[in-house]
Amino acid sequence: MSTNPEPTNVAASVDAILDELQDSPFPSMQAAIAMLRERTGTERSDADLKGLITKKAAVRGIQLFDEGSTAN
């Protein structure tokens, strides 16, 4: 029997954070990741968390400002 290294439901925490950021004029991806790490203690990579947040935000029609993006 394996143990779950993350006792907190990270996906549910993303939903809660998006609820809070929804009314922000320019929500930041970095702020969302920082909030998620603070609340859950997750050790997932930034890229993994960014993907999860991006997918859940897209479903809600929320665009997050990604100040650290290097994509062209």
Strands (E), 1-72: none
Say what percent of the chain tops pLDDT 90: 50
| Rounded alpha-carbon distances, angstroms, from residue 62 to 13, 30, 35, 39, 59 | 16, 15, 17, 21, 8
Q: What is the mean pLDDT of the chain?
A: 83
Q: What is the pLDDT of residue 39?
A: 92
Is 10 in contact with 40 (CB distance < 8 Å)? yes
Q: What is the pTM of this model?
A: 0.77
User: Per-residue pLDDT averaged across 43-59, rounded?
Assistant: 94
Tokens of 17: 């954070």
